[in-house]
Chain A
């Protein structure tokens, strides 16, 4: 048991290997989901499972879509400038 706990704690003292690659941008997805869920938890009048999930998914999708549009716009500007 103590070995398992030690191994789990050891995972938190060494960083993961994440390269500077386009796929590293996918790390924004879990964070965007967390933001959507916590924000909706403070905003909905009553927490009802189906309604809450629906509203959280809509907000999550909005965040991802607008970040994609922003990224595309910035890429377009960078392409024009360089």
Chain B
């Protein structure tokens, strides 16, 4: 594979990965996998919103809940905005709602990470098949 083509390949993979992080399902949308993109977007956004509804936006806390925040930030950079609002501790939440809210929002983050990896892999497969043809 020539150097120029390798660079383009890397840029495509990076674009797909970033799109998937910016908007859940964005990576698949770029690859024209629209049905997958819509399903991923709808499910991840609804489940994340459910987590916030159950535990309030206080479940996203970059200071007190660093480990959960690491997984939550995989949803989208928009989570950092919520983290910025809640880091002062004005929306503290405890007990079961905190637990369930953190589990919901963290799991959606990890699911989105799975989708990003899958989109990057699909992009790589499509490019290599295209190069062979």
Interface hits, B38-61 → A, CB 8 Å:
39-40, 43-44, 46-47, 50, 52-58
A14, A27, A31, A41: the one contacting B36 at CB < 8 Å is A41
Docked CA distance A35–B118 (Å)? 15
Chain A residues contacting B104 (CB-CB under 8 Å) are 31
A13, A31, A39: the one contacting B57 at CB < 8 Å is A13
Chain B residues touching A, majority SS: helix
Docked-complex contact B93 and A34, CB < 8 angstroms: no
Is B35 interfacial (CB 8 A cutoff)?
Answer: yes
Is B72 interfacial (CB 8 A cutoff)?
Answer: no
Docked-complex contact A24 and B114, CB < 8 angstroms: no
**1/0 per residue A6-41: CB within 8 Å of B?**
000001111111111000100100110011011101
A13, A15, A18, A35: the one contacting B107 at CB < 8 Å is A35
Docked CA distance A38–B42 (Å)? 10
Which residue of chain B is the closest to A48 with respect to CB atoms? B35
Is B4 interfacial (CB 8 A cutoff)?
Answer: no
Interface residues of A (CB under 8 A from B): 11-20, 24, 27, 30-31, 34-35, 37-39, 41-42, 47, 52
Interface residues of B (CB under 8 A from A): 33, 35-36, 39-40, 43-44, 46-47, 50, 52-58, 91, 93, 95-98, 100-101, 103-104, 107-108, 111, 114-115, 118
